[in-house]
Amino acid sequence: MSIELKNVTYTYSPGTSYEIHALKNINLEIPDGQFIGVIGHTGSGKSTLIQHLNALIKPSSGTVSYNGEDVWADNYNRRELRSQVGLVFQYPEHQLFESDVLSDVCFGPMNQGLSRKEAEEEARKALAHVGFKEENFGKSPFELSGGQKKRVAIAGVLAMNPKILILDEPTAGLDPKGRDEILDQIAELHKVRGITIILVSHSMEDVAKYVERLIVVNHGEIAFDDTPRKVFTHYKELEAMGLAAPQITYIMHTLREKGFNVDPEDITVEEARNDILKALKEMNSPLLKGGSGK
């Protein structure tokens, strides 16, 4: 079971002077259950790419298939596809519209044919998953803070029980605390529900510690598609694309250049700490004396 893109290109306003080749020959396979980060500079094509995954955009050329079937075949049920491949837009305002939070989150499941009562059950579960408090269920989605709106928008998609959840820059505009909370909840969702998660971001630090696979988009092409560790070893090329690797990558590479036997693929502070201590021990470094090596 997977989504597969073969030689997908997409051009906005073809044949006009505004023509933009947003995607160029994309080949991609997304098997079930992965936690994937899609990263790239603003304008690199991330949003265009993910809208191909649930058939909101039709490729200018190439094919998109879901579980082996071409999603643009004449009799393909794209509505059903969109309830299995849920997309949370970058701007939650685009998908909030009901008068109160609970009704808003019920909209998707009711659209799938559930009664209001059944839909409420799904909505409550979804809202709990994103840490939205019951006391605010009756509020208008439009009077909520940015972070709360985001949660409601995520819950609205989650309530439809998608097999694949795509989040377009879910942390944009949030403060660091709100950002970490939402990312932790998304990671938890992946663990508890076992669904595929595709997390779009322009911030490397955001996605690095969460995802198992990192797809880097640059000028409408896939520049790298690998584990975060492997991708970060290309930190110089990433910089040229306007992306930075995590700070740890820089520290470990600098230490190596200076002759320390550390692993340049370390990406967490914990790994780096252990590795640096090991290297210092091997070198019998005086830095370890005097109790600093705890």
Determine, following the binding rule CB under 5 A, whether residue 47 of this chain makes contact with Mg ion.
yes
Pick one of Mg ion, ligand ADP, none as the site partner of residue 44 (Cβ within 5 to 8 A by kind): ligand ADP
**What residues contact residue 208 under an 8 Å CB cut-off, 6+ apart?**
37, 214, 228, 232, 246, 267
173 binds ligand ADP (CB under 6 A): no
User: CA-to-CA distance for 242 and 245, rounded, in angstroms?
Assistant: 10
The distance of closest approach from Cβ of residue 216 to ligand ADP in the complex, given in angstroms and rounded to an integer, is 11
Residue 196, CA distances (Å) to 31, 57, 80, 276 in order: 8, 20, 17, 35
Binding residues for Mg ion, rule CB under 5 A, total 2
Q: Among residues 2, 6, 9, 12, which is the contact residue for ligand ADP, using CB under 6 A?
A: 12
Query: Terminal CA-to-CA distance of the chain, rounded, Å?
Result: 48
Q: Which does 248 bind (CB under 5 to 8 A by kind): Mg ion, ligand ADP, none?
A: none
> Could you give the 3-state DSSP secondary structure of residue 72?
coil
The closest of 52, 50, 2 to 30, measured between CA atoms, is 2
> Does 16 engage in binding with ligand ADP (CB under 6 A)?
no
Nearer to Mg ion, 42 or 284 (CB): 42
Tokens read off for 251: 């520290």
User: Footprint of ligand ADP on residues 23-52 (CB under 6 A)?
Assistant: 40, 42-48
Task: With beta carbons less than 8 A apart as the criterion, state whether 157 and 108 touch.
Answer: yes
Nearest distance, CB of residue 47 and ligand ADP, angstroms: 3
Cβ proximity to ligand ADP: between 214 and 255 the closer is 214
Give the interface with Mg ion as residue ranges (CB under 5 A). 46-47
